[in-house]
Amino acid sequence: MTKTIKFLAGGVLAGMVLLPTGTAVAKSAWAYDGNKLVAHAWAPAMNDKGRIAIKDSAAGNSVKAEYYRSGSDTKRTLWNKSGKNATVYSTSGSKVFKFQACEDIDWGGDHCSGYVWVD
């Protein structure tokens, strides 16, 4: 009886390792102003390959995530004008495959992370 239970338990554990979980591993991008973190973006967000998130990490300027979706060469922008520590999420759509985090600098060059590719 105990051999049967051990065999079944081992089979269940082995099966769990082989089955995909369906969770997506998020990639992150961080934008800095000097040594100060100003923005953090990640995708997929909310475990949805069609969503991206942008968090404002510092008081001051607005932040944004610039990103591309599958099937389009149009750059999209997700704005976060809600202030320090606020996070904004995009609506769901086709898969986000490339993005960057930026601090928006009026009349100057934005502080951006550089693009990150999502698997």
For the segment 35-76, what is each residue's pLDDT rounded down to a tens digit? 999 999 999 999 999 999 999 999 999 999 999 999 999 999
Instruction: Select the CATH number that applies to the domain covering 26-117 from these four: 2.60.40, 1.10.10, 3.40.50, 1.20.1070.
Output: 2.60.40
pLDDT > 90? residue 9? no
Beta-sheet pairing, 53-56 with 87-89? antiparallel
Beta-sheet pairing, 87-89 with 116-117? unpaired
What's the confidence (pLDDT) of residue 86? 98
What's the confidence (pLDDT) of residue 5? 44
Q: What is the pTM of this model?
A: 0.80
φ, ψ of residue 104 in degrees (nearest 5): -80, 120
Q: Could you tell me which residues come within 8 angstroms of residue 54 by beta carbon, excluding any fewer than 6 positions away?
A: 39, 40, 41, 63, 64, 65, 78, 79, 80, 87, 88, 101
pLDDT tens, residue by residue, 79-88: 999 999 999 9
